Amino acid sequence: MTAIPHRPIGRTGLTVPELGFGAASLGNLYAPVSDADARGAIDAALAAGLRYVDTAPHYGRGLSERRVGEAVRLQPDVVISTKVGRLMDPDPSVTDDRERDGFRSPMPFRMRYDYSHDGILRSHEHSLQRLGVARVDLLYVHDIGGYTHGDAAGGYWQQLTTGGGLKALERLRDEGSIAGFGVGVNEIQVCLDVMQEARLDAILLAGRYTLLEQNALDALFPACAAAGTSIVIGGPYNSGILATGTKRGGTLHYDYGPAPETVVAKVRGIEAVADRHGVRLPAAALAFVLAHPQVASVIPGIGSAARVAQTVELYREAIPAAFWQELRAAGLLRADAPVPEDAA
Ligand SMILES: NC(=O)c1ccc[n+]([C@@H]2O[C@H](COP(=O)([O-])OP(=O)(O)OC[C@H]3O[C@@H](n4cnc5c(N)ncnc54)[C@H](OP(=O)(O)O)[C@@H]3O)[C@@H](O)[C@H]2O)c1
């Protein structure tokens, strides 16, 4: 089996495998994952060459970071990204694993946003302790912007800019404590805004460049090409619907909630083309984003060893050129979105 190719991250000198591991699932996102299954998933991922792991303090209020750290600690050449912007305050009232902020985690903490200079330095230190590692490679400013904060976004923006948050990240990068930093968000405009304030090495863009939507081609990707900023694609299945398709029963998931009918209709259209060409929808979802030269890695959410094996198989699936041509001709894909055949 050929190794998974690596791609550079900005100007950091760091490379990451183009298929990485999104560890939100290991924080018990929506459903509990046992310690054994979590360990099995990440061990299988590392063995298969998915040696870029993305985690965050938010993912199960520290649970994902603890699990990732246990698995990667003695492993060479694993690139780790985690995030800043949320601090975990002790909360003795948490005594069960009922869902809080989307996670079924028993970790007794309460999340507090803090994008200030001191908040970011503290968050970085806390992450090293929870992971039990001496260094993380990349830090993403997590969920800055109106998508998460609504009317409160302005205050957090002040913390990050005039409040010295970005200065703290520049300091960590300048002194070599991290290789690079960027933002990890679900919206495009805030990426452009932060790029006006600092030189970003990478942007973790979740759900906003997928088989379903390509608006990032308008301004963001050209700006990243000009600035030397790499893109890591989070949420490549838009939370599930591009992995499951529309034909199974039950709720179809799109962007952390039930899929709206317009989205279901578009996925049905893509699915019909995929069926005609014998292509599996999630295989197309992974191959599509990797065809863009600005994209360094795609990190689907994976919660079990079986899912790792299935994901690697999907990643390696051969997709006929006629599939992409038909998607374009049917108006289901923007004509200017690169597809794997363009690079061949
Ligand atoms: N703001 C940010 O920085 C941000 C935001 C979102 C995501 N991210 C990153 O991106 C990663 C991935 O995002 P995500 O987990 O939210 O979304 P995603 O990868 O788009 O979707 C994950 C969902 O797809 C399902 N799935 C995965 N592979 C499947 C398959 N082969 N067949 C059927 N279903 C499959 C999973 O189901 P199961 O649960 O059954 O496996 C899970 O519910 C995260 O772990 C995180 O690292 C970052």
CATH code of 228's domain: 3.20.20.100
Number of the ligand 1 atom closest to the C-alpha atom of 140? 3
3-state secondary structure 223-275: HHHHHCCEEEEECCCHHHHHHHCCCCCCCCEECCEECCHHHHHHHHHHHHHHH
Burial class, 97, CB count within 10 angstroms (exposed 0-12 / middle 13-18 / buried 19+): middle
Is 143 part of any domain?
A: yes
Nearest-CA residue for ligand 1 atom 37 is 240
- Specify the pairing of strand 202-206 against strand 253-254: unpaired
Three-state SS at 62: coil
Is 265 part of any domain?
A: no
Place of tokens 């409040």: 163
Is 3 part of any domain?
A: no
Q: List the pLDDT tens digit at each of the 344 positions of the chain.
A: 789 999 999 999 999 999 999 999 999 999 999 999 999 999 999 999 999 999 999 999 999 999 999 999 999 899 999 999 999 999 999 999 999 999 999 999 999 999 999 999 999 999 999 999 999 999 999 999 999 999 999 999 999 999 999 999 999 999 999 999 999 999 999 999 999 999 999 999 999 999 999 999 999 999 999 999 999 999 999 999 999 999 987 999 999 999 999 999 999 999 999 999 999 999 999 999 999 999 999 999 999 999 999 999 999 999 999 999 999 999 999 999 999 977 65
- CA–centroid distance, 343 to ligand 1, in Å, is 27
Three-state SS at 40: helix
Just list the catalytic residues: 54, 59, 83
Number of the ligand 1 atom closest to the C-alpha atom of 30? 39
Q: What is the rounded distance in angstroms from the CA atom of residue 222 to the CA atom of residue 244? A: 31
Instruction: Count up the domains in the chain and report the number.
Output: 1
Is 340 part of any domain?
A: no
Nearest-CA residue for ligand 1 atom 40 is 303
Place of tokens 């997928």: 210
Closest CA to 101 of 64, 66, 60, 62: 60
DSSP per-residue string spanning 177-200:
SSSEEEEEES-SHHHHHHHTTS--
State which amino acid sits at residue 336: D
Number of the ligand 1 atom closest to the C-alpha atom of 301? 15
Sequence-ordered list of residues with C-beta below 8 angstroms from that of 72, at least 6 positions apart, any chain: 42, 46, 53, 78, 80, 131, 133
Closest CA to 308 of 297, 318, 296, 299: 299
Sequence-ordered list of residues with C-beta below 8 angstroms from that of 196, at least 6 positions apart, any chain: none
- CA–centroid distance, 31 to ligand 1, in Å, is 13
Q: What is the rounded distance in angstroms from the CA atom of residue 142 to the CA atom of residue 158? A: 15
Is 341 part of any domain?
A: no
To test the ligand 1 pocket, which listed residue (233, 237, 271) has its Cβ within 8 A of the most ligand atoms? 237
| Strand (E) or helix (H) holding 159 | helix 153-160
Is 282 part of any domain?
A: no
Is 100 part of any domain?
A: yes
Output the ligand 1 site: residues, CB below 6 A. 22-25, 54, 140, 142-143, 184-186, 204, 206, 234-240, 243-244, 282, 299-301, 303, 307, 310-311
Number of the ligand 1 atom closest to the C-alpha atom of 311? 31
List the domain range (segments joined by +) for residue 40. 16-244+288-317
Is 257 part of any domain?
A: no
- CA–centroid distance, 255 to ligand 1, in Å, is 10
To test the ligand 1 pocket, which listed residue (82, 211, 307, 315) has its Cβ within 8 A of the most ligand atoms? 307
